[in-house]
Amino acid sequence: MGAMTLVKPNLHRVDVDARQMLFHIPSSSIFELDGLSRELLALFDSHDQVTPEYLAPLCECYSQQEVSEALEELLTLEVISESGAVARINPEPQKVSKFPLTTVVLNVNTGCNLSCTYCYKEDLTTPSKGEKMALETAIQSVEMMLRESPDQRNYNVVFFGGEPLSNMPLIREMVTYCEKRFAEHGATVDFTMTTNATLLTEELVDWFNEHRFGLTISMDGPKAMHDKNRITVGGQGTYDVVRRKVEMLLKRYTARPIGCRVTLTRGITDVERIYDHLSGELGFFEVGFGPVTSGDIAEFNLTGEELVEVFAGMKRLGQRYLEAALRNENFGYGNMHQLITDMYEGNKKLVPCGAGLKLLAVDKDGGLNLCHRFTGSDLPTFGDVEKGIDRAALGQFIEQRLDRTDTGCSTCRIRNLCSGGCYHESYAKYGDPTHPSYHYCDLMRDWVDYGVEVYSRIMLENPGFFEAYVSPRRSA
């Protein structure tokens, strides 16, 4: 064995009390380093190249075989490499020709009964001017998905808007159609929806219960915070009506846990207070936060100082998540739970999300968009529900994001968990959805580092938590 070097972009170490954890970046896996591995890596830290003579002191404490086996393991993980060998950091850029589509997002109405100040939807309009998706378009969307991916066992149909509840006739007809159609394929179908809750009724809740909808409510916290931006077309706050509807929903709905999605805008940064209200007072199963950093209306974007404050609060909530996990309890904090899930499953994100691969959003006219955020935008569509996916155009787009050459992502330690950030954030900030979102990289790296520490402490002190709360939730 000749000279060897450390492959720094493939590893990140986190100290947890007296123990040291290795975050193996290519696999998004976490290992505890034993004494020999720690000493070996410390040796590589001290030298640009490590030759066999540098290993002699280690052989006074460990056998030659132990040292050789530890080196072989580090070589296999590509944490170290032999001099002259090229270690794999990123996969080679590849052609994209297959789109394993399992989710369609139906933009059932461009109209919304609210006029949230920060809304990113470019095709959004008032209820009276809303353009509703035709039943034929919705059916063609499902048939397009079945043509593109005919052999899947599970599919997902998402109803989105505008406010999706404003087109319930279409949703009812599509649920009836889908349950029969997917059964003919020997597959299951899952229905999900994000709603502002204002149009919910007991009859609707019971119907959603019957069909096991996955429901997420958009709500921004206590009254003063929520009413700042989530207002009616006439400018009135909506907290009181949303709270009444949510209390009815949470009392009546039993099919699945209900989550809440919070949008954080300028001046709204107290994530702990928001979480305590939505989870502790109202009773949502899980609360997730979406910081606005690159919206079309700049005055709603969080400032740099506010982003620091938000991430600090998110880490404090992460500490509460950890404390609950060590008691073998679930703490419904969506951002941390998703990060923990990615690490537990060893997710390696070559692209930020499933948009364009597993998921496409259908606009009212049947155009295929990357995701629900792009319907009505200036970004060209990638085919339509009648003709199918424009494979050449969509493949070229995905290939651009897969290629990390000459980007800040190429050697970043969170490249396989962040993968450059949200397409729509990049589109809003840079005018190019393939451009990585660089504007809060340091905060994201710190957040993932903290997630590695949280994961490591759970793994070391209560590993049963993963089987009890991560796997069942994912399968559900």
pLDDT in tens, 19-76: 999 999 999 999 999 999 999 999 999 999 999 999 999 989 999 999 999 999 999 9
- Residue range 101-112: mean pLDDT, rounded: 95
Distance CA 14, CA 29 (A): 13
How many domains, in total, are found in the chain? 1
pLDDT of residue 472: 67
Q: Extract the tokens encoding 4.
A: 């060897």
Task: With beta carbons less than 8 A apart as the criterion, state whether 229 and 195 touch.
Answer: no
Distance CA 170, CA 164 (A): 10
Q: Is pLDDT at 382 greater than 90 in this prediction?
A: yes
From first CA to last CA, the distance across the chain in angstroms is: 49
Residue 279 included in any domain: no
Residue 77 included in any domain: yes
Q: Is pLDDT at 285 greater than 70 in this prediction?
A: yes
Task: With beta carbons less than 8 A apart as the criterion, state whether 286 and 333 touch.
Answer: yes
Region of 179 (left: φ > 0; alpha: ψ -120 to 50; beta: rest) is alpha
Residue 57's domain comprises: 4-82
**Which stretch of 18-22, 245-249, 286-290, 436-440 has the lowest confidence by average pLDDT?**
436-440
- Residue range 118-130: mean pLDDT, rounded: 71
DSSP, collapsed to helix, strand or coil, labels residue 389 as: strand
- Residue range 380-406: mean pLDDT, rounded: 95
Residue 43 included in any domain: yes
HEC assignment per residue over 220-280: CCCHHHHHHHCEECCCCECHHHHHHHHHHHHHHCCCCCCEEEEEECCCCCCHHHHHHHHHH
Q: Is pLDDT at 190 greater than 80 in this prediction?
A: yes
Distance CA 375, CA 310 (A): 29
**Which stretch of 8-12, 97-101, 111-115 has the lowest confidence by average pLDDT?**
111-115
- Residue range 220-234: mean pLDDT, rounded: 94
Burial class (CB in 10 A: 0-12, 13-18, 19+), 414: buried
pLDDT of residue 220: 97
Residue 138 included in any domain: no
> Which residues make Cβ contacts (< 8 Å) with residue 427, sequence separation at least 6?
374, 377, 379, 433
- Using CA atoms, how far residue 416 sits from 97, 112, 419, in Å, is 22, 36, 5
- Residue range 107-121: mean pLDDT, rounded: 86
Q: Is pLDDT at 128 greater than 70 in this prediction?
A: no
Residue 326 included in any domain: no
Residue 45 included in any domain: yes
Percent of the chain with pLDDT over 70: 97
Output helix, strand, coil percentages for the chain, rounded to the nearest 5: 45, 15, 40
Q: Extract the tokens encoding 311.
A: 């991430």
What confidence category does residue 117 fall into, taking pLDDT thresholds of 50, 70 and 90? confident
- Residue range 400-428: mean pLDDT, rounded: 92
Distance CA 332, CA 394 (A): 36
Q: Is pLDDT at 1 greater than 80 in this prediction?
A: no
pLDDT of residue 475: 44
Residue 49 included in any domain: yes
Residue 41 included in any domain: yes
Neighbours of 322 (CB within 10 A): 22
Distance CA 44, CA 54 (A): 10
pLDDT of residue 299: 83
Q: Extract the tokens encoding 52.
A: 């066999």
- Using CA atoms, how far residue 376 sits from 118, 124, 366, in Å, is 16, 8, 11
